[in-house]
Every structure is written in C-alpha cells, then in structure tokens.
Structure 1
Amino acid sequence: MLFGVMWYETDIVEGRTPMWSQIAERLRRAIEDGTFRPGQALPGEAELNRRFGVSRTTSRAALDFLEAEGLISRKSGRGSIVIEPRIERPLNRLSSFSEDMAVRGLKPSYRTRSLRLALATQSVATELKIVVNSPVLEIDRILLADESPMATSLTYLAPVAFERSGLPTITALDNGSLYGWLKEAAGVALTGGHERVEGSIADATTAKSLGLKQPAAVLVCHRTSWNSARQPVEYVVLHYRADRYSFQVGLARS
C-alpha cells in the first residue's frame, strides 16, 4: 500500500502474495496509522468481499491472521474489534515499570493497596537470602498505563532497603517508581537480577484488579533483584495481563 493511500482505495491483484495476505497487510497498516483505533471495528467479511471481489474464505483468512497476531478480537455479534497493542518487554534488561511505559509514550501510575512490615516466609527468605521470619517490607500495588491496569505486583524488600531510610509512604509509592524511591531515599541501586515467567489463569481477585473477565490468562513473573554487591534487595511476583504484555529475549546459537 502506498503512503497516504487508504486501505480501500486501490485494488488487490493475484500474484506471489496471497490475496488474503494483501488484505491483512492493508488492514494492519490502517491499524498502525490510526485509521482504526482500539475499540473500533474493522470492516466485516461481507464488506471486504464487496470491495476486493474476493470470496468469504479469503476475507475470513485475512481477519483470522490479524486475530492470531493479537491485533484484533473477533466475537460473534461484535465483529472484529481492534485491541490495545501489547507492551513488549525485553527479558535481558532490568527496568522499572515506569521506565518501560515512558519508552512507549504511556503515562505510568500506581495504586498501592497495602504497605506493611511482615515476617519473611520460607520462599521469600530463600529469594532474599535472609533468615526465615526476618522483617520484610511487603508492598501490594496495581500498575497502570494511561489509567488502564496492566499488572499487579506483590513486592518484598529486604531490611537493607529500609533500615536506614525508614518506610516509604503510600503517597510516595503512588506518585513514583519504587526503583526511584530505592535509589533516591534508601540509597540502594538495583544492578541486576533474575526472572522466571510462566503462564497461568487469573484468580477472581487478580481478574477483578486487572479488569478482566474470567477465565483470563495472565503472565506470572517471579523476579529477584540485587545491588552492586549482589545482595538480594527485592523479590516481587507480578501478574501481567497476557492480552497486553509480551516478553522478548535475544537468542544466539553457539
């Protein structure tokens, strides 16, 4: 499709590229340039058939392909609805939620549900390399982008993160990055970590927090981050919306 030409203005022709693929590519570009925005419906099969003179099988294949790519959601009675684009996060870089959103031009915000001192369970103590029942700071938050919930986070901070600086306030956590508070208030800079990602089905509480209808898929991330001395500082369990997030990692064949 030529620059500045609408998706429907020129005909498609038979050739090396299948006709369904040509239609899908035009609609994809129309989504990317904002002709069709999230929440809007794409032309239906009948309209595509009339415009391009193709069979129902061809138009359906084009829309099925866009659905498989995660660009639209097809539901009976509603048609093909453009969905919000996924946030792609590299797995080989330690970054805060606010940094991830800023790179994509989205406004991050936070909703802190609880902030309390707790005793480290066996699993938390193992991740933070501290003694069981040591005091840890537990922070339960919802992470939002442009006011839309993207993930929940349950964070545990080791004593090194708050023994000297004291505890953050809920206001401070709602107004900024936790990593920012750690660096500026606690003098703790996170330099590395490891993360495990797995798929799961959201429980009722998580689904409600993320605005999802059950059954809904989520990506569960278990992350442990450490300081320059490789001393664990943070252990966090995040539940990301699977319809809005994807993870990327670079591969090399040795």
Structure 2
Amino acid sequence: MSWDSSQPFTDDAPLWEQIADRLRRAIDAGHFGPGAVLPTEADINAQFQVSRTTSRAAMNRLVQEGLVIRRAGIGSIVREFRVERPVSQLTGFSEDMRRRGLSSSYTVLKAGMEAPSPEAAEALGLPAGDITFQSERLLSANGRLIGLSESWLRPDLFTTHAPPSSAELGTRSLYEWLRSTLGVEIIGGVEHIEAAIAPSAICKKLQLTPGSPVLVARRLAKTKGGLSVEFAITTYRADRYRFRVEL
C-alpha cells in the first residue's frame, strides 16, 4: 500500500473511523489521486487485523463523503474532487468552503486602485473616470486550485479606511473584511452563470490545458439598502466545481 498504515490506533475513536481518516488523509496528500483504486476490504482486514464489518464501515464513510465511488469488478475508486454550491446562496468563497468542512486559501495576483473594466463600471453604476479597488485571486480548497476571482469594489467605500492589503486578501474572505472593517454586509445580489471555453491566459492561471471548459459566474453583490458594492467575475474549473439547483 502507498499510504502510512504503520501508526498504532488510539482509543479516541472507533477503528473504522480511524481507518477512514487515514485513507482520507492519504487521498488529500495525493497518495491516491483521482481515478486511483483504493485498497480492498480484504487488504484492509489483513493490514490492520480488523473484521470485514470494520473495513466496510470505513469505506462506506468515504463513499458517503463523496470521496469514493464503488464500481463492480473494479473496486473503490477515488472521485475527482468537485465542490458544489447551491445557486440560491450568495456567500464568499471562504464561508462557502467552511460550510462544507473544507479549508480555503488564496493566492493574490493583483490588488490596488485602478480604472475598472467597462463591464464593471456599468454594473456598479460608476461615472466615467472613476477608479475602483480591483483584486485578482486564485481560490483553492484543501490545497487544490478551484478558480480565479476578479473583483471590483466601488471607490466610495474607502473614504475613511484604506482598501485591504494583499496580505489581508491572502488570508481572509473579502466579504468578512468588508463586514468587520467597514461595517458593510453583503446580503444579496444577482449572479449569472454560464459555461465557456477558457482563454489561454486563464488556462495558464488555472493550470488547465488549452481549450478546457470552465464555469463563469458574474456577480453583482448588494447591501441590505440595495447599494451595489462589488462586481466580480469568478472562473471555476469545471472539473472541480459545480452549481446545484434545488427545485
């Protein structure tokens, strides 16, 4: 087996749960990549001297978590990592990942005041010549690259406080920063989602092969009073992110 199974068990949790946790960590660490076949229940029984019931319970937990799929004649296969978000929820990436028990992280590519794109200026209702705070960040969940976010914030938010620094954007949610620093809370808005073929520049940033499909979400976020605060374009890797519609 290509995973660490030598550590002794503890008395803190059931054996099946500890075995599931070791397999989960092995998947997260890349020892078992997408499409890889996990050790069989018989392998686990022999390795840990546990019953079939214990090994099956461990594997069932991974199936329930969406990490593994069973295929007849093949075994338990690691699924491609894909994050799912209901389209009815308007949340920041950090909060979205936290709700799913995933850790979020950011890589800041750009942060500063500059002229907005025509699309962003129109969405925010800004007059010609205004500048906005623009940021560009790579979004990751459990260390795996999920998407690229481009965000524009209206300039009148920063009359009494400077915009967030690159260091701040690299460690926390933008919506959390707006709420805790400026007292501005995003409560709703409008989001348009479409499928697209990623341009070469975005393919490079998202580590995709040229011509890869992506999901593009254009969001206009608003406060309770209806003020348009942020316009954002987030490009998600289609193989790692999807939206869910509940009817």
Give the TM-score taking structure 1 as reference length.
0.67
Q: In structure 2, what is the equivalent of residue 50 of structure 1?
A: none
Residue correspondence of structure 1 range 180-199 to structure 2 within 5 A: 180-199=176-195
Is residue 200–residue 220 contact of structure 1 (8 Å, CA) maintained in 2? yes
Looking at structure 2, the residues matched to 210 and 121 of structure 1 have their Cα atoms a distance apart, in angstroms, of 21
Listed as ranges, the gaps of 5+ residues in structure 2 are: 1-19, 39-67, 70-75
Is residue 116–residue 134 contact of structure 2 (8 Å, CA) maintained in 1? no
Cα 1:226/1:160, change in 2 over 3 Å:
farther
Q: Write the letter of the residue equivalent to 1:94.
A: L
Match of 2:159 among 155, 158, 163: 163
Cα 1:160/1:190, change in 2 over 3 Å:
farther
Looking at structure 1, the residues matched to 36 and 138 of structure 2 have their Cα atoms a distance apart, in angstroms, of 29
Residue correspondence of structure 1 range 190-209 to structure 2 within 5 A: 190-209=186-205
Question: Please, what is the CA RMSD of the aligned residues?
Answer: 2.6
Asked if 1:150 is matched to 2:152, the reply is no
Is residue 40–residue 82 contact of structure 1 (8 Å, CA) maintained in 2? yes
Listed as ranges, the gaps of 5+ residues in structure 1 are: 1-29, 44-70, 73-79
Match of 1:122 among 84, 99, 118: 118
Looking at structure 1, the residues matched to 147 and 159 of structure 2 have their Cα atoms a distance apart, in angstroms, of 28
| Post-superposition CA distance 1:69-121 (Å, at most 9, x none) | xx88xxxxxxx973433211011111110111112221101111111211234
Asked if 1:138 is matched to 2:134, the reply is yes
Looking at structure 2, the residues matched to 120 and 108 of structure 1 have their Cα atoms a distance apart, in angstroms, of 27
Q: Name the SS for the 2:98 alignment partner.
A: helix
Is residue 34–residue 81 contact of structure 2 (8 Å, CA) maintained in 1? no
Alpha-carbon shift at residue 163 of structure 1 (Å): 2.4
Q: In structure 2, what is the equivalent of residue 39 of structure 1?
A: 34
Task: Count residues in correspondence.
Answer: 188
Q: Write the letter of the residue equivalent to 1:231.
A: L
Q: In structure 2, what is the equivalent of residue 13 of structure 1?
A: none
Asked if 1:237 is matched to 2:233, the reply is yes
Is residue 193–residue 226 contact of structure 1 (8 Å, CA) maintained in 2? yes
Looking at structure 1, the residues matched to 220 and 34 of structure 2 have their Cα atoms a distance apart, in angstroms, of 36
Is residue 219–residue 233 contact of structure 2 (8 Å, CA) maintained in 1? yes
Residue correspondence of structure 1 range 26-65 to structure 2 within 5 A: 37-42=32-37
Alpha-carbon shift at residue 40 of structure 1 (Å): 4.7
Looking at structure 1, the residues matched to 144 and 122 of structure 2 have their Cα atoms a distance apart, in angstroms, of 33
Is residue 35–residue 77 contact of structure 2 (8 Å, CA) maintained in 1? yes
Give the TM-score taking structure 2 as reference length.
0.69
Q: Name the SS for the 1:185 alignment partner.
A: helix
| Post-superposition CA distance 1:163-200 (Å, at most 9, x none) | 22111110000010000111111221111110000111
Is residue 85–residue 244 contact of structure 1 (8 Å, CA) maintained in 2? yes
Looking at structure 2, the residues matched to 139 and 182 of structure 1 have their Cα atoms a distance apart, in angstroms, of 14
Alpha-carbon shift at residue 42 of structure 1 (Å): 3.8
| Post-superposition CA distance 1:178-223 (Å, at most 9, x none) | 0011111122111111000011111222112222222311100100
Identity %: 34
Looking at structure 1, the residues matched to 210 and 126 of structure 2 have their Cα atoms a distance apart, in angstroms, of 37
Alpha-carbon shift at residue 249 of structure 1 (Å): 2.0
Alpha-carbon shift at residue 240 of structure 1 (Å): 0.3
Larger Rg: 1
Alpha-carbon shift at residue 38 of structure 1 (Å): 3.8
